[in-house]
Structure formats: C-alpha cells, structure tokens
Chain A
Amino acid sequence: MAASSIETRFDRLILLHATLPRLAMAILCGAGLAVSGAILQQVLRNPLVAPDTLAVSAGARLTLGLVTLLAPGLFGFGRDLVAIVGAVAAVALVLVISRSRKYSPVSMILAGLVVSLYCGALSIILVLLKDRYLIGLFIWGSGSLSQQSWEPAIQLAMRLVVCGGVLLLLVRPLSVLDAGEDAARNVGVPVERIRLLAIGVAVLMAAFITSTVGVIGFIGLAAPALATFCGVQRFAARCLWSAIMGALLLLVTDLAVQLLSGDGAFIPTGAVTAVIGSPLLLLLLSRLQSRQPQPPTNETLTSSRVGQSRRTALLLTLLGAATLAGLAALVMIGRGPDGSWSILNGEMFADVLPWRLPRMLATAGAGGLLAIGGYILQRVTQNPLASPEIMGVSAGAIMGAAIALSFAGSSMDIGLGLATTIGSFAALLFVLSISLRRSAAPERILLAGVALTALVDAVVGLIIANGGPSSVLLLAWLAGSASDISLPVALATVGAAVVLLAVGLLGSRWLAVLPLGASVATGVGVRVPVAQSALFALVALTAAIATPVIGPLTFVGLMAPHLVRLFGIRSAPAGLVLSALIGAALMIIADTLARTIAFPLQLPTGILASLLACPVLLLLIAMGNKR
C-alpha cells in the first residue's frame, strides 16, 4: 500500500515537473517558430523564408557553441543574449548579401542557405577541434524538449508574450504590405521601419527558442505553408493559424518521439520534426500556390559581361587544368609526427604517398563529379540553386545505402553501389516530378529538394539512433569515407569523373538549347523528355558515385557552377569542363587542409570544402550586380 502510494506520488511528480512542462514547451516552441516564420514570410514577401532558411537558428547555435567552448564566462550575461547576438549577426549577413540583388527571394534563400551551412560547418569543426566528446552540443543542436522543471517554459513564455505584444502593434501595417510596398507607402506606412521592426521580432522569437531548446527545424517553414494551404488569407489570421499548426505539429511529433523512444533510447525531437513536417510539406507542395505574384523566376546570378570569345573560354579552361595540376602537388605537403610542417622528400615519398594519394584522388574525383552534376542541373532547370546536394540527390544516395545496410546488413560493395545509384535516381525523379508538374519555379523545386533532404536526414538519423553494426558504417558514410579509401577505388572515382565529363560533353548541345524552354527546344527538334531524362540520369550517377566518398554535405555541386558563371563563362562545353576542374580543385585544397590543420586529427573533407567555398560564394553574390 505504502509502496504503491510512493509510486503514485513519484508518477505525479514526473507528470507535474517533467511531462507537463514538456508539453507546454512543445506548444510554446511550435507556436513561436511558426509565428516567426509567418512574420518573415510576410515581411520579405517570400514563401520560402523561415528561421531555418534565413540562418537564424544556425547563427544562434554557432555563437552558443563558441561561447560554451571558448568563453563560458560570457554566459554570465545571459544565454539568450548570446543566442540573439548570433541570430542577429547571421540574419544581418544574409540581408546585407542579398541587398545588392534587391532582396529577391531566390538570392535571399541562397544567401541564407549558404550562411547557415557555414555556421553549421563551423560548429562541427569547433566540436571536432576543441573537444571531441562534447556530444551535448550535438544533442542540443538537434533540439531536445525534455524538461526537469517549469522554469524554462515560464521564462520562454514571458519572452514570447513580450514579442507577441510588439507583434500586435505591427499587425495592421504589416497587413497593408499585402497590397504592395508602394501602396503601403502611399497610405502612410513607414515601410522600411516596420520591416526592420518585424524582422527584429521574428528573429528574437526564434533566438529565444533556439537558446532554450536548441534547433528545431522545419516548423517555421511548414506551419505557415500549411496555414496558407488551408486557405488562410489575411496576415493576422495567418499568424494565428500558423501558431496553432506549429504548436500541434511539434506536440504531435514530440509525443510520437516519447512513445517510440520508450526506454532508454534518446531521440532529439528536433531531428524528428522533419520526419513529420517534410512529408506534409511535400504533400502540399504540388498544391501550394505562392500567395503573391513572384518576380520573374528566371533570375540567374550571371554577370552579363560583353563579348566572350571562344578563345577566352579555352584559355580559362587550360588555366584551370594547370591550376589543378599545380594543386595536385599539395599532396607533398604534410606534417610530421611532431606536428612540424614538411615537404615530402625522396625516401619518405614512397612511404607516405600510398596514404595520401588515394585520398586526394578520390576527393578530387568526387568534387569533379558533383560539380558536373550541379552544372547540368543548374543549366537544365534554369535554377541557380539546383545542385545534387540541395535537390536531395545526395540524400537519396545516402538513403539507398542506409536501406541496403540495414536490410542486407552486409557491406557488399556492388550491392551498395547499386543501392546508392537507385536511391539517388529515385530522389531526383521524385523531386523533379513534383516540381515539373506545373511550371518549374525555382522555389518549388528547391522546396521539394529541401523537404526530401530533411526527410532522409531524419530517417537516417533514426536508423543511427537505433544503433547496431550498420549504423557505424552509415556514420562513416555520412562523414565521407575518403580517409580510408584504397587506390583502386580512388582511381575508379577519378576515372568515373573523366568518363561522365565526356558523356556530359556529348550532351552539351542539349545544355545550350534546353534553358530556352521546352517550347523552343521542341521547335528546333530536340526530343525534350529524352534529353532531360538522359541528363538527369547522368546527374544521379554523379551523385551516387561521389556521395559515398565525400559525404552529402559538400555543396561543391552548388558552388562550382556559380564560380564558373561568375568567371563569365557561358558556353556549355567550356562551362562543364571548368566546373569539373573547379570542383576538383576545391576538394584538393579542402583535403590538404583537412589533413593538416588539426593534425594529428583528420577533419571531414566535405565539411572543410564547404567552409572554403561558402565565403567565396557569398562574396560573389554580394558583389554580383555592381559590375
């Protein structure tokens, strides 16, 4: 009797101080993120912005990580303040970068994506460098809602209520923005000031939430999209319904997580929101209309330079090849056992080369492959954001591997290769079928890819969380297995890059015609479906070969084609070759750095590649229009 009463008391205690606060937290965070997303979408007139896509969460996460590891004393000023500094800095960076492009939706999302990628890569490097066992930061990074008391929920609620109060004052002027900026100014709304204030409120809300529970993805994007889909038109109503949808989404997800994880296994909710949120978004995507007419979607990030002769293209290509050859010499540079820098000499050469050469060859080949895939995708879809990584092709490859590993259990290379190819092709087909059903607006295709990537990430995350021998293999895959690759495999990767480049060159006439649209292409006798599926099959193949080597997160496939275009190369064959060369060169530099900067620790090459390429790309986006 007494024992059972203690038990009930204990249960009651858990209910009061862990379960209920957790429910409250889920509702608060879901609603807050959703409203933040709704505000951002209204202010920036862009159905794709959300706290995650504008790098708010990533920025907050990075500064929190930095402070935790380097200067814990700063938390004395308050955890929220640290998060806010990071969030505001990230958003400011995104806005400054996209200002030169008049805040156009695509450039803003591109900038946001790259900034958050950069912050994410920095966070990971930070953890790897400073303390490999600081797993807590990872767990927090993926958003855990578990609570021990009411305190955090109450604190967060108070902060969100203040933000909500400011928002109430802003509802009217923000609603007027629906009629367009000029009309709003016409009726006396100080558009710039209102905008800044509203963005400030949205960023604050997201920063508070991130600082309390970590990064919870997808709610800020999915909830307003859901509300819009349900036919909610006016801004005030959209805020309200977004909040309800967001709270429900997160609550349901969190309950599912608690039920599923049951005993022992720890699954961060933030990682799982994607499992529920992304299929929902994918489902709605084909019916989701952009609320406001979008500016012309054929926006490209080309600088229109005058008069580009064939000779310049050839010269640049030769120059690129020479640079690549020169970079290959980096294989000679390394660090000795004592950490000192050295260049390989005669006798060491034979000993060390077998370790370094395969790795460099494989990463260079994989970089080239992804760059070829990215160039083809960007050309055919006329979408400056298309790349194997962003469109979920790489994620599909990983998914294929995950399924093969967990069902077959073996690590048979041939079966695995087949599974990755099928996975990447299925992902590509899926994204394209969604986006091509109507006009292939860049937003639509991008959203489909992002949603798919998030879904695959989450599923893979769950497989890993379940443990087992296959999860270890899969983890190695995710980081890219370049470090322990054999010479034959490395040579095969390079060979594949060369072969697929040649195949791509055979299709370069198509690459010139297809950007003009299906109607014109058909008019000059191109069988558009045949041409498109052939090229897309090529892209799927590049991702399937490259992803196992360098992991899914390199973004070389996004960067390299942009660098090519910013060099002013427009002709398809030259662009394709140069893109492959740039991709390979980026990876060689990244590989050398990954090998040396944290010696004796070897960093993941893919992450270093994105660290290298992101700033260049951001700079180029920011400067683009001034020339």
Chain B
Amino acid sequence: MTTATEASTLQLTSGSVFIGEARLLDDVSISLVPCTVTGLIGPNGAGKSTLARALARQQPLTSGECRLDGKPYASFSSREFSRRIAYLPQAIPTTSGLTVEELVSIGRYPWHGALGKFTDSDRAAVKEALAITNTDIFADRPTDTLSGGERQRCWIAMLLAQQANILLLDEPVSALDIRYQIETMSLVRHVSRIRNVAILIILHDINLAARYCDHVVAMKAGRIAWQGAAPNLIDAHVLEAIYETPMAVVSTLEPNQRFAFAKLPGDLSKRASPEG
C-alpha cells in the first residue's frame, strides 16, 4: 500500500470568488485535517460547490490562498496535486461503455500518468477500492447498466483508487435512497479512519451531517455562517439562523438520538381524516 505522504492538511485563508457582481465565495477560511470528516451544509446557492471546486483547484480564487501541506497550490503539478486531492463533482458524467473496473482504474491516472505502466500496485489499489465499496461484485458490468446508488459507489471507488489524502465530495448521497445514504456515509467515515484521510462532504441532510461528520461548516450567501462539532448542529436556534425556516428538535427515548426537522405549516390530523 503506497501513498504519497502519510497525511495531508489543507488550509484556505480568506478565499473569495467573485464573478462579475456576484460574490460566490466571500472571505472564507477553512482547514481540513487528517482523519476528520467535515460536513458542508447550507441553503441552495450558498457557495458550497464553489468552495469545493476552489479547494479542488477547479475554480480560480479571486483573492485568498489555498495551501496544501503548507505549500501554495501553484507549486504542485497536475498529477502531484491529484495524488493528494481527489474531487467528486456534483454532476456525475455519464460513462458510456466503461465497465466498473475500467472506471475505477481511471483513478490511477495520477500515479501512472499518460504513458506509465499499469503496475501491480495500481492493480492492488483498484482491487482494494472495489472491495471497500462492495462494488467488486459487479466489477465487469458496464456502469450504465447500474442503478443510481450503485453507480455512485463506483465513483467513490474511483476516488479511493486515487489514494488521495484529501477527498472532496460534492453531494454524493443526494440521489440515493435512505439505505444507500446511510451505507455511503458510514463508508465515508470508515475510509477517513482507516486511511487517515481528510474528507469534505457536501450534504443537504442535517441529521446525516450531525451523525456521520466530525465537524460541520454551514454556509450562507458565500460566507461561513456557523461551524462547530457535528452534534452541536442539532439545535433549533442554530438551524433557524442557517436556513431562515422554523426548525424544531425532538429527542427519542434512546440516549443521544436527537433529530432536527423543519416545522411545516398545516395540521396533519385534519388532512388525514376521511371526509365521510
């Protein structure tokens, strides 16, 4: 098992992205440290994806600086950078004709490059990534014949095969049903622990964020509105400030089972009662 370095740290200092008049990212500072899952939440258009793209070096910063292991981004070549940071875009492209294994093998590009040999260590990394994500059972199938959840796992496997120290995942669970959401989130947490990896994951589900992340950053209008330890997110006042919507928190009888939800208008019992 080879990795570029033991672990990496990512530090963004007062990063801003302005496009014309629009301030997509406004003076945001954030750091990602090994063995930690950082959840990124916030309303639509808050700048979550812009932040992830900026950290992935796919979106140039208007001002501010990104540093990887203390060195500026510009000092890394494309492949050196990709060995350390892997990014899963929100819109996953269609992969006509690729089998799962071929897709996952693409994650090895930063290691073998355009001309290098596909070595045994590459093969081992692909195999391991397939095994961790339980995608090895359909490794030979074309990706376009899989369900949405299965395909999502294949892409995570590709990122794992990349063996980067920092993973940036843009809404990897939004298209999945509840069971796959839970499976994927435990997979993400598991990977951060066994690989000593720093993970940034964009989520819409606050309860998933509170349960599976270590640290949560909430964004609003291009700025960081709140951040703290994940369990502290489940607080009606905090959430109301982030989403500007009436929120409530309930506890079940089991210890530490607290859930947050938005208060919806209307009376359910009246709606449910039969008319006659």
Interface residues of A (CB under 8 A from B): 296, 298, 300, 302, 304-308, 382, 506-507, 509-510, 512-513, 515-517, 519-520, 522-527, 531, 565, 570-571
A523 pairs with B93, CB closer than 8 A? no
For residue B243, CB closer than 8 A to chain A, the reply is no
Q: Indicate if the CB atoms of A525 and B81 lie closer than 8 Å.
A: yes
In the bound complex, do residue B114 and residue A510 qualify as a contact, i.e. CB atoms below 8 Å apart?
yes
The one of A306, A506, A510, A520 in contact with B93, judged by C-beta atoms closer than 8 angstroms, is A520
Smallest beta-carbon distance B210→chain A, Å: 28
CA distance A512 to B110 in the complex (A): 14
Q: Let me know if B140 and A300 touch, CB within 8 A.
A: no
What separation, in Å, do the CA atoms of A106 and B146 have in the docked complex?
24
Q: From B57, B82, B94, B106, give the contact of A512 (CB < 8 A).
A: B106
Query: B78 contacts which of A302, A507, A526 (Cβ < 8 Å)?
Result: A526
Assess whether A516 is in contact with B114, with CB atoms less than 8 Å apart. Answer: no
Q: Which residues of chain B are near A522, meaning CB under 8 Å?
A: 56-58, 78
Expressed in whole angstroms, the Cα–Cα distance for A587 and B125 within the complex equals 44
| B212 within 8 A of partner (CB) | no
CB contacts (< 8 Å) of B113 on chain A: these are: 509, 525
| CB <8 Å contact, B145 and A304 | yes
The minimal Cβ–Cβ distance linking A375 to chain B, given in whole angstroms, is 13
Q: Provide the residues of chain A in CB contact with B190, threshold 8 Å.
A: none
The secondary structure that dominates the A interface is: loop
User: Which residue on B lies nearest to A506, using beta carbons?
Assistant: B115
Give the number of chain B interface residues (Cβ < 8 Å).
35
B102 at interface by CB-CB < 8 Å: yes
Q: A515, A524, A531, A570: which contacts B82 (Cβ < 8 A)?
A: A524
Given A517-B93, A520-B89, A520-B93, A306 contacting B145 (CB threshold 8 A): yes
Task: Verify A306–B102 contact, CB threshold 8 A.
Answer: no
Q: What's the Cα separation between A611 and B98 when bound, in Å?
A: 32
Which residue among B78, B97, B99, B141 has the maximum number of chain A CB atoms within 10 Å of its CB? B97
- CB contact under 8 A between A513 and B109, given known A296-B94, A304-B97, A570-B98: yes
Choose from B82, B89, B109 the contact partner of A509 (Cβ within 8 Å).
B109
A199 to B114, CA, bound (A): 50
Q: Is the CB of A523 within 8 A of B87?
A: yes
Contact of A516 among B79, B99, B106, B145 (CB under 8 A): B106
Contact A571 B78 (CB under 8 A): no
On whether the beta carbons of A509 and B97 are closer than 8 Å, the reply is: no
Closest CB pairs A-B (n = 5): A525-B82, A525-B110, A525-B79, A570-B97, A517-B93
The answer to whether B86 touches A523, judged by C-beta atoms less than 8 angstroms apart, is yes
Q: Are B115 and A509 in contact (CB under 8 A)?
A: yes
Residues on B with beta carbons closer than 8 Å to the beta carbon of A304: 96-97, 142, 144-145
Min CB distance, A308 to chain B, in Å?
A: 8
In the complex, what residues of A have CB within 8 A of residue B93's CB? 298, 515-517, 519-520
List, in ascending order, chain B residues with CB within 8 A of A296's CB. Answer: 94
Task: Quote the shortest CB–CB distance from A335 to chain B (angstroms).
Answer: 44
Cβ of B56: which chain A residues have Cβ within 8 Å of it? 522-523
Inter-chain contact A527/B78, CB cutoff 8 Å: yes
Task: Give Cα A531–Cα B83 distance, bound, in whole angstroms.
Answer: 19
Ordered by A's residue number, 8 sampled pairs between the chains whose C-beta atoms are within 8 Å are: A304-B142, A306-B140, A306-B145, A506-B114, A509-B113, A509-B114, A523-B56, A525-B109
B70-89: contact bitstring with A at CB < 8 Å (1 yes, 0 no)? 00000000111111001111
Kindly list chain A residues whose C-beta atoms are within 8 Å of the C-beta of B222. none
Tell me, yes or no, whether B107 is within 8 Å of chain A by CB. Answer: yes
* Closest Cβ neighbor of A525 among chain B residues: B82
Q: Determine the residue in chain A with the shortest Cβ distance to B82.
A: A525
